Structure 1
Amino acid sequence: MDYIAHIREQDKTIQTVEAHLREVKEYSERRGRKIGVKHLAGIAGWLHDFGKNTNEFYNYIQQAAANPHAPPKRGSVDHSTAGGRFIYRRYHAGSTKGLDKATAEWIANCIISHHGGLRDFVSAEQTSPFMKRVVETELKEYEQAEREFLSLVPVEELDRYFASAAAEVNHLLGIVKQHKLSEITPSLLIKYMFSCLIDADRTSTRIFEEGTGPEQPIEQAAFFGRAYDALQQHLHKLETGKNADHPINRLRREMSRQCEEFAFKPSGIYTLSIPTGGGKTLASLRYALKHAIEHGKERIIYIVPYTTIIEQNADEIRQIIKEDDMILEHHSNVIDEDKKDRAADTYVSSDRDEMEDEAYDFHRKKLKLARDNWDRPIIFTTMVQFLNTFYAKGTRNVRRLHQLSNAVIIFDEVQSVPIHCISLFNSALNFLHILGNSSLLLCTATQPALDFVKHGLRLSEQPEMIGNLAEVGKSFKRVEIVDRTTPLGWKADQLGEFVLERMDEVNSTLIILNTKTAARKLYDELHEHDGLGKGGFKLFHLSTNMCAAHRKAVLKQMREALEAEERVVCVSTQLIEAGVDISFECVVRSLAGLDSIAQAAGRCNRHGKDALRQVYIIKSADESLKQLKEIQCGADQTTRLLAEFKVQPELYGHDLLSAAAVKQYFEYYFAQMKDEMQYRIKRLDQNLFQLLGANRYYLDAYKNKHGKLPGVITPAALATAEQHFEAISNRAIAVLVPYDAAAKKLIADLNGELNGELDIRKLGDLLKQSQQYVVNIYDHDRRKLEKNGDLYPLLHGHVLALREPAYNEFFGVESEGEGVWQDAVL
């Protein structure tokens, strides 16, 4: 009898369990081989749908295919436990070897979790959800599943394969010990295995569902060669073009040259501390392409703090390389699972059974298979998405983790790592370098000394790419910092008057504030002067309430006005201060961390057109930073530094933006925030490092309750850690907005899925296109929009869209008629 893994919706063709398992095994091996977990990932793929070899599942899937609009109850047949139970019984329960037990646990957890999230080995409830699943869960036809699988696979072959997997665990743990990597590294290895399995399973199913046959692999080496040649041609044009002999441009070329020379060094963790405006994007790309060619890397990934930088940098690189299909922008996840989806896609750490998610609800199945897996040679994404691949719950994010190995990963403005994630971030980078064979480049003019904190970063020897940084900094000095802070701060009307005074002296001013509310108040204050009379100016506004396409259009209009030497004022939240190539004659920055002030200064006199220009630091009375602890702490430490600078400016070379000043700032800041760096969870009185590591607190609690240990070698509370992880604490949901005609058509096309008009490939394309029309809405605003009837569902509630009246052509999403927004950092 041919047991069925999947039935194609289009023509009812079947994919047998045997064929699916062999294919997923092969795909998992391919993904795992890169870091030495070929057999660990492969055996998980080989056994993940072991439980589909039963009459019960055969009948279930036939009924589901025959009744797509009224399928059997989800979870009525458990197919993912059986493979994990087999591994546990054969290689754990009867073994006395700790290595075999640990290997079996890693593999079995991936198998039983492949339709949800990884299980806790020991949980907060003094139980072992892992052991409960592999030992206690009732499986009616388990013996049949085992018998059918072993009729096709000789047990000796499986034993040899498992022995190879155990040898991989032994080797990897030896490397962890040798390099004294953090205690959470075994958990990261399990997550990597899980990533290989999830992506292999989804890929196999998608290819079968599309009926198109295996996709041809991308020839990365050939592409990187073409891209490098295109970049060299572009750089040659710059070297022979207008203003090529300007001292700033000559210095940019020299730093770019040093980056290419550095590319011949072996994989490592390096720093690129080019001053703001120093040509960091092209210099880092030059390094990355050359390094990828010389060392056989598969992918170049840019990690940036804000989506604005994605838009600008990706456009710049596309224009040079001219192969758009090879470059992917991943801003955020368009799909937001509703409560039912989250219940099925995420395992909550408790004794209750998981709801199985075979997804024979065909709408859900299409969405799952269409989700992006970062398969392009060049990726642009955000710091939040990077952290989510390692630490977020469920299967959607971790699916991409294996793509981060054997890659060149460039962290633009690396000082933007959320403070509570620093230890997790450092551990992830150490993992990717030492075990993942990736090269990592930390780019910023204000390096945050991540190697000096607890669980520090393992920088390579002599990591800085640019020589003589002190002299370079002096050559790039284009601004002076002017402290205009007052204890009570400036109200919008006072700040408005100050801006108008500056506009009597200059033709362009940029004001950067910490909250959307303060920015809106100042915009309204300045609006009456917009374009009026001789002293008038063009007034612009930017915030993350505007979708990426909207912000891109505003930035284009603003650049054109500045290049035409028109009078311009821009009021923005901090999205503009990092990585956006734009230059104003004057910048006003609301009090924040010195690193933010330095980034804001990079938008002033950016190309050295004038000798020196002013960057004013003010304190806004319209900002509430009570819920923005990191910004408040940064502002406090900057205030401390400003006071010291007034008394002893020579300590900092008479420059508030000097390397000495930045170093002192981060020492002050990290000292104040040291208790936050390991992602403390107040409700549990634990931190994520403890949960993903030795998990001693819950192990002791288990022993006290049961009088014995739970019988597992691996202690981590993986599910509990994932449930409490958020890179940005204020959770937001993605909403598609009707910004322009293209966005409205996209929404209409997605709505067509309600009638079953879209295939998986078309749906995947539409979801990628949707990235530029997404705004992340916080709960406060979501509730207001829902109350006003301004949100409506697409794709059976998996995507939310905004009605046209709630999107303003100047400000973006309006949660109320008067545009009242929640104070929130980007």
Structure 2
Amino acid sequence: MFYAHSTSTTDKSDWQGLEDHLKSVGRLAAERAERFGAGPWGEAAGLLHDIGKYTIPFQRRLEGSPERVDHSTAGAHIALEQYPQVGHLLAYLIAGHHAGLANGRDIGERTPLKNRLEADLPPLDSVWQQEVALPDELLPPAHLQQRRDRAFFQYAFLTRMLFSCLVDADFVDTETFYSLHEKGITLARGGRPTLDVLRDALDQRLATFQADSDVNRLRGEILSHVRAQAELSPGRFSLTVPTGGGKTLASLAFALDHAITHGMDRVIYVIPFTSIVEQNAAVFRDALGEHGEAAVLEHHSAFDAGNQSDRNTIDKLRRDSENWDAPVVVTTAVQFFESLFAAKSSRCRKLHNIAGSVVILDEAQTIPLPLLRPSAAALDELALNYRTSVVLCTATQPALAETDDPERSFVGGLRDLRELAPEPDRLYRDLKRVTVRHIGTLDDEALRDELLATEQVLCIVNNRRHARALFESIADRPGAYHLTTSMCAVHRRRVLAEMRQVLKAGQPCRVISTSLIEAGVDVDFPRVLRAEAGLDSIAQAAGRCNREGRRSAADSDVAIFTSANEDWAPPPELKKFAQATVEVLRRHGDDPLSLAAVEAYFRLLYWQQGPQELDKHGLLKLVEDGRIEGLPFDTLEQKFRMIENNQRAVIIPFDDTARAALRELAYAEGVGSIARKLQPYTVQVPQQGFAALERVGAIAAVEPDKFGEQFMVLVNEDLYDEHMGLNWSDPTFRSGESNIW
């Protein structure tokens, strides 16, 4: 008898039979692939993935032999023989179900599929042909709609989706076996509330809202209209609602209604910034009442499973997060898009659960320009062939629609984009709460005078150094506050809570912030100063002014300025946005946040870049040139980075909760829950600053023998200021004693 997995029992009485494992994985993979009409493909992949275990060398390995045995490539060979037309796609995922999807040919660092297929393998025992019955024929999914301009992109996308089905099925079956036979437990799966239950809970919550103001009446109108569109056929949608129009809950209500109407499975809310994932998840949990805690899953890149070093944590986080088996998922754009172009099994495992979902892209305009074309292609493919409804949800709608009008079309974008909001132009007029104007060039002294001229004012600048210098110039004045990503999230929350109380009391409140305050932070100022930036950023800044509409637009001033100090100019990657804004202001200076101005801004921005700059690494061309035999899966994962992450996390022992969590690491085996507790206490530090802190002993690894450098904590707490946050740029670091323990 041949076995798939062993236990500590020497008589093999409770070992998992190979035939049982292959059939179970084939069945589970088929169920997952049926979500997008590819059930037989999933079954074939599941039956073939471990066929290489039908060898004497692999069975010896299960018995304790140290020899290394390739058990993945044999199934890839059989797929090529059995299915000459489509077998190459299956070969990628079968050969890569442990190591990840490789390039078809040698254009990267890892061994390509071509080389693996040419390597010598131990012979298979012929018993596999009696125990494994493969599907006779594999045809492309019947509903698959092809686009000639990206045919091989579609093949690569299908392969990655099938890979997700296979690795999730393999993980689930293997984990179930070991949990039962080694721990004597059956892992709980499912059991979360249904979408119908969640919609009823949301309806109860929405029924408590009162139309007691013009703004609230308009929010109610928007909500009703958006929900009435739920019966529209699945596809591509936009939801264009000005800031303060209630689009967060309106989009959730639409998504639940739409998913239930069309038999879809979940809602995935994609947020541009990690800093507001927890905030939005909390809004949804609150809106869903007693079911919120069980229904809403947060998943973002901080302390991701792929970064964990211990087996228990990896398994736990994968169960909780990596297959996204929850009715409402709140995640980041980085996690969402990078997964769609990933090659590693842990990153791809969730993909099949995006099929048959409603995906809400909050602040859709924040997709990085260098990746815009491949990102739009992925969104369009989800809607075209994977029963996914994609909703671009924002006050500043990016011009991503592909139309028949060459003057207005984003080539390769989203076809047949339908608007969910009622008369967006009218909404903008009705919800207009500010007056936006450019006040020219200001040096630091003039900017300080502007701040001191108003008792309640928010000033947003483009870099941390400017924010720090400006705050220091007014720090001795009443109500001076500073917000920066140099502060950990818990610290920022405390500052924001104090600011809100001061604003409500009508006391002086002068806030200097980087753009982080534009990311969904609920504050309301009578005046906002904004350094030149992209028009979408200016619109976000304007959302912090007269947010609740208690003042007239004429009395609510959003003033754009150019800094006279070259040191404070926008970084190079932001200059193009600011330049496009300046051009739009020339044409639409009377109303720079109108929908016409926003559309002109994005078209100008995209036109200035050109098609190549919107796919900086040439990923779409790379895929098309590779064809079936040379699909560049590994290269795509390496090059598709929404954030070029050269930063490292430093944990700040900011309060007793953080210190207690750090102490827990001393005796912890699985650290998933501890990592989540510590995440709001981290500051992301550039690699150079991190090295400087490490060099002078200002940071140190916690339990390095167990976790390596996974948990780096600030031990010189003199470097963390109550107003400025963490200082990693001061060359006169002083070594300090730790008081964490």
Fold match (TM-score > 0.5): yes
Unaligned runs of 5+ in 1: 65-71, 92-99, 342-358, 530-535, 682-686, 697-712, 821-826
- For residues 597-624 of structure 1, the C-alpha deviation after alignment (integer angstroms, 9 at most, x for no partner) is 0111011001111112101112235676
CA contact (8 A) 2:297 2:321 kept: no
Measure the CA separation in 2 of the matches of 1:425 and 1:625.
31
> In terms of mean alpha carbon deviation, does 667-676 or 804-813 score higher?
804-813
Alignment of 1:47-126 (within 5 A): 47-63=48-64, 76-88=68-80, 90-91=81-82, 100-124=83-107
Measure the CA separation in 2 of the matches of 1:50 and 1:813.
54
CA contact (8 A) 1:123 1:720 kept: no
State the match for 2:520 in structure 1.
579
Q: How far does residue 51 in structure 1 lie from its aligned partner after superposition? A: 2.2
Measure the CA separation in 1 of the matches of 2:226 and 2:337.
27
Measure the CA separation in 2 of the matches of 1:629 and 1:675.
19
State the match for 2:346 in structure 1.
396
Measure the CA separation in 2 of the matches of 1:691 and 1:625.
38
Secondary structure (helix, strand or coil) at the match of 2:350 reads: helix
- For residues 738-795 of structure 1, the C-alpha deviation after alignment (integer angstroms, 9 at most, x for no partner) is 3433333333434434xxx44xxxx444455454444443322322233233141565
Secondary structure (helix, strand or coil) at the match of 1:142 reads: coil
AA aligned to 1:132 is N
> In terms of mean alpha carbon deviation, does 797-806 or 376-385 score higher?
797-806
Counterpart selection for 2:443 from 486, 490, 513: 490
Q: Structure 1's 335 and 624: CA in aligned 2 closer, same or farther, altered over 3 A?
A: farther
Counterpart selection for 2:602 from 638, 645, 666: 666
CA contact (8 A) 1:5 1:52 kept: no
Measure the CA separation in 1 of the matches of 2:287 and 2:615.
40
State the match for 1:356 in structure 2.
none
1:803 aligns with 2:714: yes
Counterpart selection for 2:664 from 705, 730, 749: 749
Q: Structure 1's 365 and 337: CA in aligned 2 closer, same or farther, altered over 3 A?
A: closer
State the match for 1:460 in structure 2.
416
Measure the CA separation in 2 of the matches of 1:83 and 1:723.
26
State the match for 2:186 in structure 1.
213
Q: Structure 1's 750 and 40: CA in aligned 2 closer, same or farther, altered over 3 A?
A: farther
Q: How far does residue 660 in structure 1 lie from its aligned partner after superposition? A: 1.4
Measure the CA separation in 2 of the matches of 1:799 and 1:127.
25
- For residues 468-501 of structure 1, the C-alpha deviation after alignment (integer angstroms, 9 at most, x for no partner) is 2222211111111121232xx533x543332112
State the match for 2:405 in structure 1.
none
State the match for 2:435 in structure 1.
480
Q: How far does residue 817 in structure 1 lie from its aligned partner after superposition? A: 5.2
Secondary structure (helix, strand or coil) at the match of 2:171 reads: helix
Q: Structure 1's 770 and 318: CA in aligned 2 closer, same or farther, altered over 3 A?
A: same
Q: Structure 1's 467 and 213: CA in aligned 2 closer, same or farther, altered over 3 A?
A: same
- For residues 176-201 of structure 1, the C-alpha deviation after alignment (integer angstroms, 9 at most, x for no partner) is 14x87664111111111111122222
CA contact (8 A) 1:419 1:630 kept: no
State the match for 1:131 in structure 2.
114
Secondary structure (helix, strand or coil) at the match of 1:184 reads: helix
Secondary structure (helix, strand or coil) at the match of 2:459 reads: strand
Q: Structure 1's 118 and 630: CA in aligned 2 closer, same or farther, altered over 3 A?
A: same
Q: Structure 1's 204 and 470: CA in aligned 2 closer, same or farther, altered over 3 A?
A: same
Instruction: Provide TM-score, normalisation by structure 1.
Output: 0.80
1:142 aligns with 2:90: no
1:792 aligns with 2:707: no
Q: How far does residue 676 in structure 1 lie from its aligned partner after superposition? A: 4.4
Measure the CA separation in 1 of the matches of 2:246 and 2:157.
34
State the match for 1:272 in structure 2.
239
Measure the CA separation in 2 of the matches of 1:127 and 1:736.
33
> In terms of mean alpha carbon deviation, does 108-117 or 269-278 score higher?
108-117
Measure the CA separation in 1 of the matches of 2:169 and 2:108.
33
AA aligned to 2:256 is L
> In terms of mean alpha carbon deviation, does 102-111 or 201-210 score higher?
201-210
- For residues 617-652 of structure 1, the C-alpha deviation after alignment (integer angstroms, 9 at most, x for no partner) is 12235676899444110101112223344xxx5xxx
CA contact (8 A) 1:231 1:286 kept: yes
Measure the CA separation in 2 of the matches of 1:490 and 1:15.
73
Secondary structure (helix, strand or coil) at the match of 1:175 reads: coil
Q: Structure 1's 692 and 812: CA in aligned 2 closer, same or farther, altered over 3 A?
A: farther
- For residues 47-100 of structure 1, the C-alpha deviation after alignment (integer angstroms, 9 at most, x for no partner) is 222223334333434448xxxxxxx58xx3322222222323x32xxxxxxxx4
Secondary structure (helix, strand or coil) at the match of 2:209 reads: helix
Secondary structure (helix, strand or coil) at the match of 1:777 reads: strand
AA aligned to 1:143 is L
Q: How far does residue 130 in structure 1 lie from its aligned partner after superposition? A: 1.5
1:428 aligns with 2:378: yes
Measure the CA separation in 2 of the matches of 1:216 and 1:519.
48
Counterpart selection for 2:624 from 690, 693, 700: 693
Q: How far does residue 265 in structure 1 lie from its aligned partner after superposition? A: 1.2
State the match for 1:499 in structure 2.
451
Alignment of 1:3-82 (within 5 A): 3-7=3-7, 14-63=15-64, 76-82=68-74
Alignment of 1:702-717 (within 5 A): 713-717=628-632
Q: Structure 1's 517 and 143: CA in aligned 2 closer, same or farther, altered over 3 A?
A: same
CA contact (8 A) 1:512 1:590 kept: yes
Q: How far does residue 232 in structure 1 lie from its aligned partner after superposition? A: 2.0
AA aligned to 1:202 is F
RMSD: 3.1
Q: Structure 1's 61 and 126: CA in aligned 2 closer, same or farther, altered over 3 A?
A: closer
CA contact (8 A) 2:277 2:330 kept: yes
CA contact (8 A) 2:226 2:422 kept: no
Secondary structure (helix, strand or coil) at the match of 1:430 reads: helix
- For residues 557-591 of structure 1, the C-alpha deviation after alignment (integer angstroms, 9 at most, x for no partner) is 32233223332222222122132222111111111
State the match for 1:777 in structure 2.
685
Instruction: Provide TM-score, normalisation by structure 2.
Output: 0.88
Alignment of 1:137-286 (within 5 A): 137-139=119-121, 141-144=122-125, 147-153=126-132, 157-158=133-134, 161-163=135-137, 166-168=138-140, 171=142, 175-177=145-147, 183-211=152-180, 212-218=185-191, 223-239=194-210, 244-286=211-253
Q: Structure 1's 751 and 47: CA in aligned 2 closer, same or farther, altered over 3 A?
A: farther
AA aligned to 2:584 is L
Higher relative contact order (CA 8 A, sep 6+): 1
CA contact (8 A) 2:357 2:389 kept: yes
Q: Structure 1's 676 and 737: CA in aligned 2 closer, same or farther, altered over 3 A?
A: farther
Counterpart selection for 2:425 from 437, 462, 470: 470
CA contact (8 A) 2:150 2:624 kept: no
Identical-pair percentage: 33
CA contact (8 A) 2:108 2:635 kept: no
Q: Structure 1's 745 and 662: CA in aligned 2 closer, same or farther, altered over 3 A?
A: same
Q: How far does residue 429 in structure 1 lie from its aligned partner after superposition? A: 1.1
Q: Structure 1's 38 and 748: CA in aligned 2 closer, same or farther, altered over 3 A?
A: farther
1:656 aligns with 2:592: yes
Q: Structure 1's 751 and 4: CA in aligned 2 closer, same or farther, altered over 3 A?
A: farther
Secondary structure (helix, strand or coil) at the match of 1:442 reads: strand
Measure the CA separation in 1 of the matches of 2:15 and 2:527.
66
Measure the CA separation in 2 of the matches of 1:560 and 1:819.
37
Measure the CA separation in 2 of the matches of 1:247 and 1:600.
22
Measure the CA separation in 2 of the matches of 1:623 and 1:787.
31
Measure the CA separation in 1 of the matches of 2:302 and 2:496.
24
CA contact (8 A) 2:460 2:531 kept: yes
CA contact (8 A) 1:305 1:412 kept: yes
CA contact (8 A) 1:121 1:128 kept: no
Length, aligned pairs only: 711
- For residues 355-396 of structure 1, the C-alpha deviation after alignment (integer angstroms, 9 at most, x for no partner) is xxxx9x957975885672122211111111111111134233
Measure the CA separation in 1 of the matches of 2:151 and 2:685.
35
Unaligned runs of 5+ in 2: 403-408, 734-741
